[in-house]
Amino acid sequence: LRGGDWETSVRESAKSKSLRVLVTGAAGFVGTHVSIALKRRGDGVVGIDNFNRYYEASLKRARSNLLAQHKIFVVEGDINDGSLLKSLFKLGKFTHVMHLAAQAGVRYAMKNPKSYVHSNIAGLVSVLEACKNANPQPAVVWASSSSVYGLNSKVPFSEKDRTDRPASLYAASKKAGEEIAHTYNHIYGLSITGLRFFTVYGPWGRPDMAYFFFTKDILKGKQISVFEGPNGRSVARDFTYIDDIVKGCLGALDTANRSTGSGPAQLRLYNLGNTSPVAVSKLVRILEKLLKVNANKKLLPMPPNGDVFFTHADISLAKKELGYNPTIDLETGLRKFLDWYMDYYSSSSSLPKRACLEFLDCAFW
Ligand code: NAD
């Protein structure tokens, strides 16, 4: 199916006098926002996504339609397809790769462990191999995760902290990715920046994440399960609004751009969080206030496998080196999410579906 029209679409979509970026996972939540932000400021963008069925396929299709409206071409394919990547690099002559494709979620790994190996480990190697062999060799910015801090008790989490106790296979796959990135940097001289995102939320978000399915269940009058830590302690997350994350991603791409060609290829790692953790019980209270509905809550102890109780980013390094400066507090961000949610689900024929999510009751990553 890769004929002349396909090649023209890739070339046209990548065309730019500034950055030419391949965005993997472009039909995903973060990928959609980053792709549009890049295109809006004049960069060339080509997306790739395998449209996996982890959550509502219709939402990924709707995001991809949005990308098409912004003249961003999204190739339907898997990042493990080396020949596809080779063709894309040849046509797109990418200066940068924003690698966001991954199998997300922590509990899904209990039943689908190999999907994490396929997308997060083999997939990353496949992308880095393609970058290594490409001419020009692009700088890579990729999504790691706050989950690498695992069962760490020291807060706030700093990039220098230990990451040797992952609490889930997802966390382990991201930690493995950081080691793989290190290897490709020092053996092959690839410029690689890893970004540890902290619980990203906002419009066009992921239906498997707590803020999203709490909204859906509260509106339906269904009971929601709110997890508590040991001895009734709060479970809290450093919720970070999507626009702040996008600014961090663009800052990382621009910083990698400035360093390309000047000295040894850089290897960098940054926390992108909000540095303001909020208890999940407070998240629910804000949703109740904004939705003007009392939630039917059940307090439960956090399941033992997969999640950590608390996340809190130290963002001083990203502030200093990327100019990263998150500004959106949780209530403001949730208001924007709810505006989108009401609009999307009232105008879309596809109602939110719970398909294959029954064991994903709390995804924070
Ligand atoms: P998402 O699931 O919405 O997006 C990931 C996209 O990658 C999906 O559209 C999926 O179809 C695609 N994909 C998965 N495997 C693929 C493969 N093998 N080939 C091609 N495409 C593939 O998730 P997101 O929330 O947008 O996350 C983006 C990145 O950020 C991921 O790497 C994720 O692990 C990381 N991250 C996200 C959060 C968060 O809170 N959203 C937190 C920490 C890290």
Distances (CA, A) of 218 to 214, 258, 294, 329: 6, 47, 8, 22
Q: Is 231 within a domain?
A: no
Q: Is 226 within a domain?
A: no
Instruction: Give the residue-averaged pLDDT of 239-264.
Output: 87
Please state the domain count of the chain.
Answer: 1
Q: Is 64 within a domain?
A: yes
The alpha carbon of 25 and the centre of ligand 1 are apart by a number of angstroms equal to 6
344 CB near ligand 1 (under 6 Å):
no
29 CB near ligand 1 (under 6 Å):
yes
Backbone angles phi, psi at 52, to 5 degrees: -65, 165
**Active-site residue (options: 170, 184, 211, 270):** 170
Q: Is 12 within a domain?
A: yes
Pairing of strands 236-237, 278-279: antiparallel
Backbone angles phi, psi at 327, to 5 degrees: -125, -10
Query: Whose CA is closest to atom 44 on ligand 1?
Result: 145
Q: Which domain holds residue 68?
A: 4-200+240-272
pLDDT per residue as tens digits for the range 272-317: 999 999 999 999 999 999 999 999 999 888 877 777 889 999 999 9
Query: Whose CA is closest to atom 8 on ligand 1?
Result: 28
| Interatomic CA distance for residues 32 and 245, integer angstroms | 12
The alpha carbon of 362 and the centre of ligand 1 are apart by a number of angstroms equal to 16
pLDDT per residue as tens digits for the range 92-151: 999 999 999 999 988 888 889 999 999 999 999 999 999 999 999 999 999 999 999 998
pLDDT per residue as tens digits for the range 128-138: 999 999 999 99
ipTM for the predicted complex comes to 1.00
User: Of 48, 37, 41, 36, nearest to 16 (Cα)?
Assistant: 41
Residue 208 structure tokens: 């498997």
Instruction: Give the residue-averaged pLDDT of 77-96.
Output: 98
Q: Is 247 within a domain?
A: yes
Query: Whose CA is closest to atom 14 on ligand 1?
Result: 102
Instruction: Write the CATH number for 142.
Output: 3.40.50.720
The alpha carbon of 31 and the centre of ligand 1 are apart by a number of angstroms equal to 8
| Interatomic CA distance for residues 273 and 193, integer angstroms | 16
- Reply yes or no on whether the pLDDT at 352 is more than 70: no
Q: Is 311 within a domain?
A: no
Query: Is the pLDDT higher at 230 or at 361?
Result: 230
143 CB near ligand 1 (under 6 Å):
yes
Q: Is 303 within a domain?
A: no
Q: What is the pLDDT of residue 258?
A: 62
The alpha carbon of 105 and the centre of ligand 1 are apart by a number of angstroms equal to 9
Q: Is 235 within a domain?
A: no
Answer yes or no: 341 catalytic.
no
Query: Whose CA is closest to atom 11 on ligand 1?
Result: 51
49 CB near ligand 1 (under 6 Å):
yes
Query: Whose CA is closest to atom 37 on ligand 1?
Result: 365
Return the ligand 1 atom nearest residue 51 CA.
Answer: 11
Return the ligand 1 atom nearest residue 364 CA.
Answer: 40
